[in-house]
Structures are given as structure tokens and as C-alpha cells.
């Protein structure tokens, strides 16, 4: 059975074997922590799904400062989610998830992914030891699942669980700092069938698959490639011209510049971003948008002083991580 190798749990080329002196190798150590970080993210995602309350995209959860090994964690979460229906059936038929391990089921999912499709795992933690004891049963359960479904490969099995791809329309947001919506409809309408979105006033719907990356309106920042979910956020908050807005975690900045457009460039937005590389990306987005009322702050939002007079008149704190706003406000209220 072909393994779908990912760089999820060990850096490529690194040995996953314990070094001769019995200590953990670097690869083992990073794999051990990446699995636990991935399990935490997976838990948030699955709980959010169960309550029908999104806790943030996988990317945003992985970008939280508490996650060290971002690349490996992201890959592990995505791969485990992709194979989750198979993993659950395998664990079910091998009767692996007893009451003790049910409490750590996300870690068990991650490890089962690695046993079946990912990297070799070694006996570095209790969960690893437990799962490796049942490795034979897990692999047998997968083989039986293939037979039951009358398929020969994992790919065929995955195809049985996949919903058919429905072509999605292409959404673009008109940057009203540079162009009005009707002019954008006219201009884009020369090439495509364009509809206005019924929910977000500055959002346009174009046919699936149309490539706009090099379109002059995209290149000059009159129009942004931005999905409907992303564009709904600033529209729902409906900031007024003249407001002071604090965007806590802002890169790449699409929502930041959308806020600026809705504020008609009046008032002020402080856009905070922790990651140096992403600050550069944020500045590029702002420059492209032409917004002149955004101040970029490179740093940790949680280190801002809520008593600083600069933030005393803030009307809106915008953040994908709600807990950060609570901490910021909580600190403010308590002091
Ligand atoms: C997923 S992005 C979301 C960005 C944007 N608000 C959006 O919705 O498109 C999250 C960003 O928050 C940044 N970030 C995470 N923790 C932060 C903190 N404590 N202070 C400032 N920025 C933070 C990350 O570096 C990342 O660029």
C-alpha cells in the first residue's frame, strides 16, 4: 500500500530513528511536539464544526504564537482531516478508542494518520507506544475496509467519501477607495458575466474559473481577489468614516483595507501584526489599496497597553482571535 509521505512529522532527510545513546533525535523531538500541536488545533477545528461555530481557519489557528512548528503542524492537521472518515472507521473496527484514549482522540487520529499514511513513528510518548502496540490491528482494519468497499487503493477509497466538486464562482471585491462598484461592473463586464452580490455591496460575482490575476483592475488595486466569507466580515462590522479601529492580527491585510474603504479613508486604523515577513505583505496590500489612514504596528497585539491614550477612543477592535480581544478588554476593565 503506497504511503502518502508528507513532511508533516519530520524534516525531510532526517532520520526518525532514536539516536544510539537512547536520547531523542531532533526529528523525533520535533515530530513528537508537532503531533501534539496538531492535536490541539484539530480539537479546536472539530469542536468548532460540532457546534457549528467556526473558531478560525486552520491557518489562523496554526499562526497562533503558541504553535512553534507551524509548517509540520499545518500539514498534519490538513492530512488528518482529509483522511478522517477512513481513520475513524479503522479505529472503530479495530476497537482502539477505549475510554482512556477517547479523551485524547485527536492525538489518536493524528497518530493513526501517521501509522497508515504518513511518517514512521517511534516509541517516544505514551500515545505513540499505545498506538504502535495496535499497529497490526490498525493496518488490518484498513485492509478490511478496502475489501468491504471493493476498492484496491486508498485513493479509490477516498474518492468514495468525497463530495463531487461543484464549480465555485469567483468573487472580487471592488476597492471603493479607487473605483466605484458600477464602473467596476462595466469594466469587468467587457470580458466576463458580472453580478453584484446580494449581501456584500462592494462584492462582485464572476463565473467559476475565470483567471483575473493579471487583469489591470487587480494589478492596479481597484479590485481585490477576496472571497465572500472574507468580505462579509468588514461589511458586517460596518465601520463609519471617522472611527478609530484597531485591527489586532492584520496580515495579509485584505480585511484591513476593506475596513479602510468602508470608512471612506477617514478616521484611523491601527493594523497590528506580529510576524515580520507578514508585515511586509500587509504593507504591500495597504500600498496597493491606496488607503492613507492605516498605521502599521509591527508587534504583539497583547503587548499593547489598553491604558495608552492612543487607544482610548477606539470604536472597534477587530480580531480573528476573539480571546485576544477579551484579554485586551479584560485587562483594560480590571486596571
Ligand atoms: C490568519 S491571519 C488573519 C489575518 C487577517 N485578519 C484576515 O482575517 O485576513 C492571522 C495573523 O495574525 C497574526 N498574529 C497572530 N498572533 C498575533 C498577535 N498576538 N499579535 C499580532 N498579530 C498576531 C499572524 O502572524 C497572522 O498574520
- pLDDT (tens digit per residue) in 28-78: 788 888 899 999 999 988 886 555 445 557 777 887 777 788 888 899 999
Most confident of 27-36, 69-78, 180-189, 318-327: 180-189
Distance 320 CA to ligand 1 centre (A): 7
User: Which atom of ligand 1 is closest in space to residue 60's alpha carbon?
Assistant: 1
Q: Which residue has the cell 478588554?
A: 329
pLDDT higher than 50, residue 201? yes
pLDDT score at 148: 93
Rounded distance between C-alpha atoms, residue 287 and residue 264, angstroms: 16
Binding residues: 249-255, 273, 300
| Distance set, CA 302 to CA 41, 249, 329 (Å) | 21, 10, 10
pLDDT above 90 (res 228): yes
User: Which phi and psi (to 5°) does residue 6 adopt?
Assistant: -125, 165
Pick the range with the lowest mean pLDDT from 78-87, 96-105, 119-128, 285-294: 119-128
Q: Rounded CA gap, 209 and 213, in Å?
A: 11
**Segment of 47-61, 72-86, 120-134, 158-172 carrying the highest mean pLDDT:** 72-86
pLDDT band at 213 (very low <50, low <70, confident <90, very high): confident
Least confident of 114-118, 172-176, 222-226: 114-118
Flag the least confident range among 28-32, 152-156, 276-280.
28-32
Q: 106 with 73: CB under 8 angstroms?
A: no
Nearest to 142 by CA among 180, 121, 115, 182: 115
- In terms of pLDDT, which residue wins out, 164 or 157? 157
Average pLDDT over residues 177-181: 98
Q: 60: CA distance to ligand 1 center in Å? A: 7
* CATH class for the domain made up of 238-334: alpha beta
CA distances from 304 to 248, 272, 277 (A): 10, 10, 20
Tell the CATH topology of 26-161: N-utilizing Substance Protein B Homolog; Chain A (1.10.940)
332 pLDDT band (50/70/90 cuts)? Answer: very low
Q: Where are the domains of the chain?
A: 26-161, 170-231, 238-334
Write the residue with the smallest CA distance to atom 27 of ligand 1.
251
- At residue 10 the predicted structure's pLDDT band, cuts being 50, 70 and 90, is very low
Confidence at residue 48, expressed as pLDDT on a 0 to 100 scale: 66
| DSSP SS3 for 287 | helix
Whether 114 has a pLDDT exceeding 70, the answer reads yes
Share of the chain above pLDDT 90, in %: 50
The yes-or-no verdict on residue 316 having pLDDT over 90 is no
In this prediction, residue 255 carries a pLDDT of 93
In the chain, what percentage of residues exceed pLDDT 70? 84
Domain 170-231 indexed as CATH 3.30.70.1170: yes
Indicate whether 91 pLDDT > 50: yes
Probe residue for ligand 1, chosen from 59, 63, 74, 299 as the CB with the greatest number of ligand atoms within 8 Å: 63
Residues with CB under 6 A from ligand 1: 59-60, 63-65, 248-251, 254-255, 272-275, 278, 300-302, 320
| ipTM surpassing 0.90 | yes
DSSP state letter for 301: G
Q: Whose CA is nearest to atom 14 of ligand 1?
A: 249
Q: What's the pLDDT score for residue 268?
A: 92
119, 9 contact by CB (below 8 A): yes
User: Which of 44, 56, 60, 328 maximizes ligand 1 atoms within 8 Å of its Cβ, making it the mutation to test the pocket?
Assistant: 60
pLDDT at 296 over 80: yes
Please report which confidence band the pLDDT of residue 5 belongs to, taking 50, 70 and 90 as the band edges. very low
Higher pLDDT, residue 131 or 162: 131
Q: How confident is the model at residue 4 (pLDDT cuts 50, 70, 90)?
A: very low
pLDDT tier at 270, thresholds 50, 70, 90: very high
Distance 232 CA to ligand 1 centre (A): 18
Q: Where are the alpha helices (DSSP H) in 166-266?
A: 181-189, 216-219, 228-237, 254-262
For residue 74, how far is the Cα from the chain centroid?
A: 8
Amino acid at each position: 500500500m503506497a504511503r502518502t509521505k508528507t513532511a508533516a512529522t519530520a524534516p525531510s532527510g532526517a532520520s526518525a530513528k532514536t539516536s544510539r545513546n537512547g536520547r531523542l533525535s531532533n526529528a523525533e523531538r520535533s515530530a513528537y511536539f508537532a503531533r501534539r500541536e496538531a492535536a490541539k488545533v484539530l480539537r479546536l477545528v472539530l469542536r468548532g464544526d460540532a457546534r457549528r461555530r467556526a473558531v478560525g481557519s486552520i491557518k489562523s489557528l496554526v499562526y497562533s504564537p503558541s504553535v512553534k512548528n507551524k509548517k509540520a503542524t499545518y500539514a498534519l492537521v490538513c492530512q488528518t482531516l482529509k483522511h478522517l472518515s477512513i481513520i475513524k472507521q479503522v479505529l472503530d473496527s479495530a476497537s482502539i478508542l477505549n475510554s482512556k484514549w477517547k479523551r485524547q482522540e485527536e492525538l489518536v487520529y493524528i497518530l493513526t494518520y501517521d501509522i497508515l499514511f504518513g511518517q514512521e513513528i517511534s516509541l517516544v510518548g505514551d500515545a505513540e507506544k499505545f498506538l504502535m502496540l495496535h499497529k497490526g490491528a490498525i493496518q488490518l482494519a484498513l485492509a478490511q475496509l478496502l475489501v468491504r468497499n471493493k476498492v484496491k487503493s486508498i485513493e479509490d477509497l477516498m474518492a468514495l467519501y468525497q463530495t463531487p466538486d461543484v464549480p465555485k464562482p469567483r468573487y472580487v471585491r471592488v476597492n471603493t477607495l479607487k473605483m466605484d462598484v458600477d464602473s467596476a461592473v462595466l469594466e469587468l463586464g467587457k470580458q466576463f458575466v458580472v453580478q453584484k452580490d446580494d449581501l456584500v455591496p462592494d462584492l462582485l460575482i464572476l463565473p467559476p474559473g475565470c483567471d483575473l490575476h493579471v487583469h489591470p483592475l487587480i494589478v492596479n488595486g481597484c479590485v481585490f481577489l477576496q472571497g465572500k466569507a472574507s468580505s462579509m466580515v468588514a461589511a458586517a462590522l460596518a465601520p463609519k468614516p471617522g472611527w478609530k479601529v484597531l485591527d489586532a492580527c492584520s496580515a495579509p491585510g485584505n480585511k484591513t483595507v476593506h475596513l479602510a474603504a468602508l470608512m471612506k479613508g477617514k478616521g484611523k486604523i491601527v493594523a497590528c501584526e506580529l510576524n515580520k515577513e507578514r508585515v511586509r505583505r500587509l504593507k504591500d496590500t495597504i500600498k496597493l489599496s491606496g488607503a492613507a489612514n492605516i498605521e502599521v504596528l509591527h508587534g504583539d497585539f497583547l503587548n499593547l497597553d489598553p491604558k495608552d491614550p492612543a487607544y482610548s477612543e477606539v470604536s472597534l477592535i477587530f480580531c480573528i482571535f476573539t480571546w485576544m480581544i477579551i484579554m485586551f478588554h479584560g485587562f483594560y476593565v480590571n486596571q
